[in-house]
Structure 1
Amino acid sequence: MATAPGAPPVHGPTPIPNSPDTPNPPNAPADPPTDVIHDIGYRAYEGPRLGRGYARLSLFSQSLRGAYGLGRSARSKVLPMILLGAMCAPALIMVAVAVFTNMTGLPVEYTRYAVLLQAVITLFVAAQAPQAVSRDLRFKTTPLYFSRPIERVDYVAAKYAALTAAVFLLTALPLLILYVGALLAKLSFAHQTAGFAKGLVAVLLLSLLFAGIGLVIAAVTPRRGFGVAAVIVLFVISYGAVSAVQGVAENQEKYDLIGWLGLFSPITLIDGFQTWFLGATSAFPHESGPPGLFAGLVYLLVVCAAVAGCFALLMRRYRKVGLS
């Protein structure tokens, strides 16, 4: 490109007017802004602060519903509902027999019912204890709970109370059916009420003990399958071992030893408590031993110590996974 005589040489391409590379003249208007701030009406939360109590109640409710598959898939409801039906079916049959045959008493005492159906209770605890805690530990979702106003003791207490309530519902509902059926059969009101009350006390302690043991095992085995197997193995082996040793003691006529051996199995522990503390009839034919209130107090203290120990172990377990 030619230049005028005396003009300085032009180096490089000539700028094109209105090109992005062409600088705006000093007095040219600036480009209109492209950024826009939208007012979406954001306001700070002004409602009530519900706090730890509401968080504990919500966690308890969610865990209790989950134990029976409520709020979960249809497949999750099958097993707990089958086990609940298996617990209630014998009671319904007994009530029908008592009403239509004019029996003078129920075929089974209230305190013996849960002990005789211990296998169903064991399966329920084995299935639902891992569901309550194992998934939180396996998928590391537990810290999400603690981003809210909740502490380690709140989490442990809510989970423990929820599984205890689930087991209590499983074991108390058949007793209620028996009680209502006994009243319909016009059996002694005072006798049936006393037996029903003793049965509720026994299944309450059973629920606390079984739920605590199940949660401790599930909390140290994050994989659900291992937790289910471990819970079943512990309950079955402990009962089998105690029963075998009790049988040997009975053959050797060491009857006092038979009763004390019941302290080493969860189900025989509950049976011994209701036998010597509540004055019930033992559900095991070879169960004999130290009569009187002293043995009942020992059994009660052992049950309470076992429940407290389970809670302490759960607290320690969740301290190790980094929960304050």
Structure 2
Amino acid sequence: MSTEAAQSPGQGPGQSRIHNIGYRDYEGPRLGRAYARRSLYSQSLRGAYGLGRSAKSKVLPMILFAVMCLPAAIIVAVAVATNLKDLPLEYTRYAVVTQAVIGLFLAAQAPQSVSRDLRFKTIPLYFSRPIERVDYVLAKYVAMASALFALTAAPVLILYIGSLLAKMDFAEQTKGFAQGIVSVALLSVLFAGIGLVMAALTPRRGFGVAAVIAVLTISFGAVSTIQAIAYEQGSIDSIEWFGLFSPITLVDGVQTAFLGATTAFPGGGGPGAGTGAVYLLVVLALIAGSYAVLMRRYRKVGL
């Protein structure tokens, strides 16, 4: 539909037109930042497991989830078949034993969560809507922590259900299950922050994958080697302090000091309550520092 506009001097009929193509103002509800933040969280969490993406994107996270749960299912089957009185693997030890699977999952999914937005420069598009930098960082951080928690809590839940099927002591198993859940929740938040920081440093997904694997693997390998050397040299008191320099040994130290877990440190001498407080402070500082680094990073790329 078109109508003739008012003509200026020297213009003939039909030389100036106003075209009405039917645009109207939006009159529906405006859901605001909270809805946008929830939507970004949901999309990021689903994306970590390939949901809503191509079939190829689902293969690796689903395989890793199955690999994570398989040992727990085997333990449960053996416990039920042989009428064991206690689980052969403590709830708090499961994530430490399967840390390689957790590291692979984080290395694959943290770059997927943030690197593509950086590479294709879509961050300004997010911030052009009613969403701010803090909303983006929080949604991505909580989504990755939730994805890791689902990965690590599922086998702990399988162990707990299996212990009840095997008719083990209910109070003891419930206490151990609660300790295991607290442990994997702490691990999920810590690892999510570290993984997202490494992935957000580069728009290249491959570099992000390599960075996450390097930080988790090299730090644990170096700390474990130094602890073993210290144990062989008789420097028992120094072993617990070396554990401050690796994410997984930090979690191990916290759960040993405060959750009654059995440590993986050489000699079985984990940190006590005093040293455990230092471990907890370092974990909290790393979580807060990861959040601060992400906020600083997106202050620059969001322009």
> Is the TM value for this pair above 0.5?
yes
The code of the aligned residue for 1:185 comes to: A
Measured in 2, the distance between the counterparts of 1:156 and 1:195 equals 33
Q: Which has the higher helix share?
A: 2
Which of 11, 20, 32 is 1:51 aligned to? 32
Tell me if structure 1 keeps the 8 A contact 2:123–2:301: no
The code of the aligned residue for 2:25 comes to: A
Tell me if structure 2 keeps the 8 A contact 1:116–1:283: no
Alpha-carbon distance change, 50 to 242 in structure 1, aligned in 2, over 3 angstroms: same
For structure 2, list consecutive stretches of 5 or more residues without a partner in the other structure. Answer: 1-11
Question: Which of the two has higher C-alpha Rg?
Answer: 1
Which of 187, 202, 206 is 1:206 aligned to? 187
- Note the aligned Cα RMSD (angstroms): 1.8
Measured in 2, the distance between the counterparts of 1:289 and 1:309 equals 25
For structure 1, list consecutive stretches of 5 or more residues without a partner in the other structure. Answer: 1-29
Shift of 1:120: 0.1
Alpha-carbon distance change, 36 to 175 in structure 1, aligned in 2, over 3 angstroms: same
1:315 and 2:301 are equivalent in the alignment: no
Shift of 1:285: 4.3
Measured in 2, the distance between the counterparts of 1:303 and 1:69 equals 29
Query: Secondary structure, in 3 states, of the residue corresponding to 2:88?
Result: coil
With normalisation by structure 2, the TM-score equals 0.92
Aligned to 2:105: 124
Measured in 2, the distance between the counterparts of 1:240 and 1:36 equals 71
The code of the aligned residue for 1:211 comes to: A
Alpha-carbon distance change, 34 to 155 in structure 1, aligned in 2, over 3 angstroms: closer
Shift of 1:282: 1.1
Tell me if structure 2 keeps the 8 A contact 1:110–1:196: yes
Query: Secondary structure, in 3 states, of the residue corresponding to 1:140?
Result: coil
Query: Secondary structure, in 3 states, of the residue corresponding to 1:47?
Result: coil
The code of the aligned residue for 1:56 comes to: R
Q: Using the aligned pairs only, state the percent identity.
A: 69
The code of the aligned residue for 1:75 comes to: K
Q: Within 5 Å, give how 1:59-78 maps onto structure 2.
A: 59-78=40-59
Alpha-carbon distance change, 151 to 254 in structure 1, aligned in 2, over 3 angstroms: same
Measured in 1, the distance between the counterparts of 2:299 and 2:17 equals 49
Aligned to 1:297: 277
Tell me if structure 2 keeps the 8 A contact 1:258–1:287: no
Aligned to 1:19: none
1:225 and 2:195 are equivalent in the alignment: no
Tell me if structure 2 keeps the 8 A contact 1:256–1:290: no
Aligned to 2:241: 260
Measured in 2, the distance between the counterparts of 1:61 and 1:45 equals 25
1:100-132 residue CA offsets vs partner (Å, 9 max, x unmatched): 110001110000000000000000000000000
Shift of 1:289: 4.6
Query: Secondary structure, in 3 states, of the residue corresponding to 1:103?
Result: coil
Aligned to 1:84: 65
Alpha-carbon distance change, 50 to 105 in structure 1, aligned in 2, over 3 angstroms: same
Tell me if structure 2 keeps the 8 A contact 1:130–1:224: yes
Tell me if structure 2 keeps the 8 A contact 1:164–1:211: yes
1:186-221 residue CA offsets vs partner (Å, 9 max, x unmatched): 111110111011101110110011111110010012
Tell me if structure 1 keeps the 8 A contact 2:65–2:151: yes
Shift of 1:277: 1.4
Which of 149, 152, 162 is 2:130 aligned to? 149
Q: List, as ranges, runs of 4+ consecutive aligned residues in structure 1 with deviation greater than 3 Å.
A: 30-40, 283-287
Query: Secondary structure, in 3 states, of the residue corresponding to 2:131?
Result: coil
Q: Within 5 Å, give how 1:96-135 maps onto structure 2.
A: 96-135=77-116
Aligned to 2:8: none
Which of 215, 218, 221 is 1:237 aligned to? 218
Tell me if structure 1 keeps the 8 A contact 2:262–2:268: no
Query: Secondary structure, in 3 states, of the residue corresponding to 1:105?
Result: coil
Alpha-carbon distance change, 247 to 146 in structure 1, aligned in 2, over 3 angstroms: same
